[in-house]
Amino acid sequence: MRRVVFNGKFRAGGLNGVHRVAARLIAEVDDLLASAPAPDDPPCALIVPRGCAEGPPLAAIQLIEDDRPASQAWEQLRLPRLAAGGLLVNLANLAPLAHRPKLTMLHDAQFLRADNSYPWRQRVGYRLLTPLMARSSERVLTVSAFSADELARGGVTGRVEAEVLHNGADHILEAQADPAALARHGLAPRSYALMFGSPKAYKNNAVVFAAFADGALAPLRLVVVGPPRAALEAAGLAPPPDAVFAGPCDDSALRALYDGAEALLFPSRTEGFGLPPVEAMLCGCPVIAAPCGAVPEVCGDAARYADPDDPAAWRAALADLPRDALAAAGHARAARYTWARAGRTLLSSLRELARRA
């Protein structure tokens, strides 16, 4: 029986979607090991760099803080020594090449795309290293069948296709909606559509901005979560003059915005999973999305789809929105994506791999 060691380097980075997934999966596995242990469960540890010990308390997984700070060298050289002989579990896209055995989770294959908007050094690094990380892993996980296919066709995973472990989204229901979130921006329920802003080309904000241009959807306004207007304009985008920029939002503010929105607009040309649509559906917010990437797989017929290149299609979708029916269908669809289910799937995989001595 091999020890299971979780790679905790992600704790050294700022909270983003990938890091959040890693943290939540580890928390779910810890809860399962504590509440429903199996007689032959492997010993488990989370190894973090110096200064990264703070986090949710763990009941069954041992937390080990190293005396060295986080760096690429720590992950590639130091961590393999600390995890020697164990199954190393890497849930945030990166893994040490030298360590075997390991499980690696790759969230998407965006780095293979020309329009991924990543700096060229990062893009080249991922293209060179990710196939090596994947092919030196005993198992590769990813978050959708779409991503598994992209990784296979891009030559990342080789002959063995990545296994699918869908994300959960029910964390959004654990947050109490911030009652002041709408008032802070002068918003009333159903007076706005919601979108996550991004300067990255594949996020395709431009088609929604064009749909709202010249007051075409007035009095409905566009609320943009994330970067400020200036950051999007610097990327060559043209947000409508009356767009509301809500800035970065915690889960409480985000839940309130989902609750009050007429719809979430999600025009991305490619997504490995697409967490915002699932969060929105759980909150009873209808989703209008581009039929691209993993979104049709994840959302099925519970979302309405609009051409990613046609602003008129987005205007039409908003103008004739079967809101109540779409909200009900979305909630039923999104209810399948729970963190408990994801945790059970991961733990089953870890138990199997740990027994391979």
Classify domain 171-334 at the CATH topology level: Rossmann fold (3.40.50)
Collapsing DSSP to helix, strand or coil, 192 comes out as strand
Interval 10-64: pLDDT, tens: 999 877 889 999 999 999 999 999 999 989 899 999 999 999 999 889 999 999 9
Paired tokens of 258: 């989902």
Ranges of each domain in the chain: 4-168+339-354, 171-334
**Helices assigned H by DSSP within the chain:** 17-35, 72-73, 79-82, 120-135, 145-153, 171-174, 205-212, 229-234, 251-260, 275-282, 295-299, 311-319, 323-334, 339-354
4-168+339-354 and 171-334 in the same fold = yes
- The torsion angles phi and psi of 188, rounded to 5 degrees, stand at -115, 150
How is domain 4-168+339-354 classified at the CATH fold level? Answer: Rossmann fold (3.40.50)
pLDDT band at 202 (very low <50, low <70, confident <90, very high): very high
pTM for the model stands at 0.92
pLDDT for the residue numbered 136: 93
Instruction: Report the SS3 class of residue 301.
Output: helix
Residue 117: pLDDT band by 50, 70, 90 thresholds?
low
The radius of gyration computed from the CA coordinates of the chain, to the nearest angstrom, equals 21
Whose CA is closest to 11, among 64, 59, 60? 64
Q: Which residue has the higher pLDDT, 121 or 4?
A: 4
Looking at the chain, the whole-number percentage of residues with pLDDT higher than 90 is 88
Q: Tokens 């979560």 correspond to what residue?
A: 225
Give bridge partners of residue 96 from the DSSP assignment: none
DSSP, collapsed to helix, strand or coil, labels residue 112 as helix
